[in-house]
Amino acid sequence: MKKLLLLLLSLQTIHAFASEIDEDFVKKFSSLPTYSSAQISPDGKIISVVFKKDEKML
């Protein structure tokens, strides 16, 4: 009985954390700009990036 109670409590806790992570993930990454191409230098640094225009701005 104790194991069942512990299992149910664990599942409820995991579900609560998972729903917070999903909402936070969507909030942070839905506002990131999209880019169409990037040219990268040989040492691994980005030297130029072409961003796509947001349709809302047009």
pLDDT tens digits along 12-36: 887 777 666 667 777 777 777 777 6
Judge contact between 51 and 32, C-beta under 8 A: no
> What is the domain range of residue 18?
2-57
Instruction: Give which of 38, 41, 39, 34 is closest to 55, Cα–Cα.
Output: 34
Structure tokens at 39: 């040219």
Bridge partners of residue 40, in order along the sequence: 46
- For the question of whether the overall pTM of this predicted structure is more than 0.85, the answer is no
pLDDT for 31-46, tens place per residue? 777 776 778 888 877 6
Look at the chain and report how many structural domains it folds into: 1
Q: Is the pLDDT of residue 58 over 80?
A: no
Structure tokens at 33: 């700009």
